[in-house]
Amino acid sequence: MLRTHTCGELNKNNIGQKVTLNGWVHRRRDHGGIIFIDLRDRYGLTQIKFDPAVSKKAWQEADKLRSEWVIKASGDVIARPHDMINPRLKTGEVEVKINNLEILNRSATPPFAIDEIKADEANEALRLKYRFIDLRRPEIQTMLATKDKYIQHIRNYFQKHDFIEIQTPILASSSPEGARDFLVPSRLYPGKFYALPQAPQQFKQLLMVGGLDKYFQIAPCFRDEDPRMDRHYGEFYQLDMEMSFVSQEDILNIMEPLMIGLTNNFSNKKIVDLDKDGKFRRIPWREAMAKYGSDKPDLRFDLEIIPITEMVVNCGFSVFAQAIKNGGVVHALKVNNGAKFTRKEIDELTEIAKTKNAKGLAYIIVKKGKELQSPIVKFLGDKLSQKIIDKVKAKEGDIVFFGADEWRVVCSSLGAVRDKCGLKLGLKDNHKAAWCWIVDFPMYSYSEINPGKIDFNHNPFSMPQGGLKALNNKNPLEILAFQFDLVLNGFEVSSGAIRNHDPLIMYKAFAIAGYAKKEVDERFGGLIRAFKYGAPPHGGNAPGIDRILMVFNDLESIRDIYAFPKDGKGKDLMMDSPSEISEKQLNEIYIKIKKN
């Protein structure tokens, strides 16, 4: 080794020892002819000093040093003067008096400072272009080291529970997982394509058919979907797991202790809102939508949506009455202390509701002395308005918002308003971890792309509750699936299900969604064929480990979890990808670029 110690290791017990350190020049200071250098590696900082009285040669070399040069320095560990001790550093009680210096490599002037505060101010595009420099920042190195321990914790947990880690293929076939595939043209089979897996869904089910009844993997997944705060472009990692001969509750019970352990070991958050048995709450999808307006509710705060449809049937306010006449509903959301919202803030909340297809957002403000202020009171009448206020238990200083439309629009729009109000009023306590399971998802819903067409609401491989009998006899929109999501502080961090392992049920389930038997055989032939040879009942889920770590650390972007992230437009600025390829390469895979 070129070093005897790291830059985060020395303390007063090393005083008098001869040591050799390697690292980067973090800061340089000159005092009275003596040069002080803060030497940095991933373990920390050590102050080293060059005194011409100790070694003129070393001092002369040190005089050349600039920021981010890489050096090897040898000398004696000495105590710092008492008034120079730095309690913020692990090495703050000592320094190294250098008698030999070797410059291992020089550095051009960095495009930004490594210093934490200055680096945070640096333009993100510049930092991503020079990510190899940005990686030297202590907070990024700490995050990557934490992620390593976090993944080790996950692996240890599953191996202790007799799971086998198995790597599934990266070159796979296209699968309808809800996002665009990344396609890989085949050189050996012109005109055919592999797809990078959106998830190892089919492979892990095939492992269950193969008798490997407890599988897990830290799986790379690839989806060509737009990036956002909690979604990294192109690639991400999930904890993929599957079990045979289990019920839905078995999967939830194996996952909860892991999530509790991860919360306690890798966050500063306290788990809240457990049920009476000390477990994460299980909330049916319809209840979650009705109460919180979301299938990923933030349970760190209590604002709940309350149905008032029966109270306002045939009322004097035409917006409410017409919505009910058209088969819709009217719901209310009481926001404690919301009366302080300005007109501008109420307008902002109205626009948020409109993003969920609401036509508007009615409201009543409860003023001092319980005076009601709202444009709709004159239509509802004082008596009915007061009944509504009493129903939702609004008090002086509160505001009540209303949604009137078809059920899903009302729930979603008030849910978006609820979420924004929680943020505005400081109700999203980052010291809390509010976990919950959302269960009993609808098997089908109307397609957002093709109105009026029934499509899978979630995962197409889920087992419908009631099996083939339900598929044959029930309205598809009323069929529930053995399907569940895990939610943390308003973020969906996992999806899972008991799988459909019966070919007859699978054909019927896909037929309802408009897939012919031939198409199912072509797209999922491997799975269907395997199920004809004794498939066990099985199920699993796949938590997004990057997203969970992002929530644990209250980060503003999931990009902060990755060593080499893409930017907000899906580009790798450091490696300049995506990039053009040569005509020769295109010819080898039988691809011609269509010019616009």
Closest CA to 541 of 152, 173, 171, 204: 204
> Looking at the domain 142-280+437-561, which fold is it?
BirA Bifunctional Protein; domain 2 (3.30.930)
- Verdict on whether the full-model pTM lies above 0.85: yes
Q: Per-residue pLDDT for 177 more than 60? A: no
Q: Per-residue pLDDT for 532 more than 70? A: yes
382 appears as a binding residue in the annotation = no
CA distances, 223 to each of 175, 183, 261, 519, 557 (Å): 11, 10, 29, 22, 18
Q: DSSP class of residue 111?
A: S
CATH 2.40.50.140 fits 12-105, yes or no: yes
Percent with pLDDT over 90 in the chain? 85
66 appears as a binding residue in the annotation = no
CATH 3.30.1360.30 residue ranges of the chain are 301-427
223 appears as a binding residue in the annotation = yes
CATH 3.30.930.10 residue ranges of the chain are 142-280+437-561
Q: Per-residue pLDDT for 595 more than 90? A: no
Tell me if residue 321 falls in helix, strand or coil: helix
pLDDT confidence bin for 460, thresholds 50/70/90 = confident
Q: Note the pLDDT tens digit of each residue in 201-211.
A: 999 999 999 99
224 appears as a binding residue in the annotation = yes
CA distances, 336 to each of 21, 74, 158, 375, 388 (Å): 58, 64, 44, 20, 15
492 appears as a binding residue in the annotation = yes
**CA-based angle 436:537:278, to the nearest 5?**
25
Rounded-to-integer distance, Cα 264 and Cα 429, Å: 16
Q: Note the pLDDT tens digit of each residue in 63-115.
A: 999 999 999 999 999 999 999 999 999 999 999 999 999 999 999 999 998 87
pLDDT confidence bin for 121, thresholds 50/70/90 = low
547 appears as a binding residue in the annotation = yes
68 appears as a binding residue in the annotation = no
102 appears as a binding residue in the annotation = no
Q: Which two tokens stand for residue 209?
A: 């058919």
Closest CA to 215 of 168, 251, 165, 249: 165
CATH 2.40.50.140 residue ranges of the chain are 12-105
131 appears as a binding residue in the annotation = no
347 appears as a binding residue in the annotation = no
Q: Write a three-state SS string for 258-285.
A: HHHHHHHHHCCCEEECCCCCCCCEEEEH
30 appears as a binding residue in the annotation = no
pLDDT score of 459 = 82
If one counts every other C-beta atom within 10 angstroms of the C-beta of residue 314, the result is 8
**Peptide bond preceding 200: is omega within 30 degrees of 0, i.e. cis?**
no
**Residue 116 CB partners (closer than 8 Å, separation 6+):** 137, 138, 139
Task: Note whether 122 and 112 are within 8 A (CB).
Answer: yes
Q: Per-residue pLDDT for 524 more than 70? A: yes
What is the sign, positive or negative, of the torsion defined by CA atoms of 374, 380, 385, 388? negative
CATH architecture of 301-427: 2-Layer Sandwich (3.30)
pLDDT confidence bin for 239, thresholds 50/70/90 = very high
Rounded-to-integer distance, Cα 86 and Cα 11, Å: 12
* For the chain, the helix, strand and coil percentages under 3-state DSSP, each to the nearest 5: 35, 25, 40
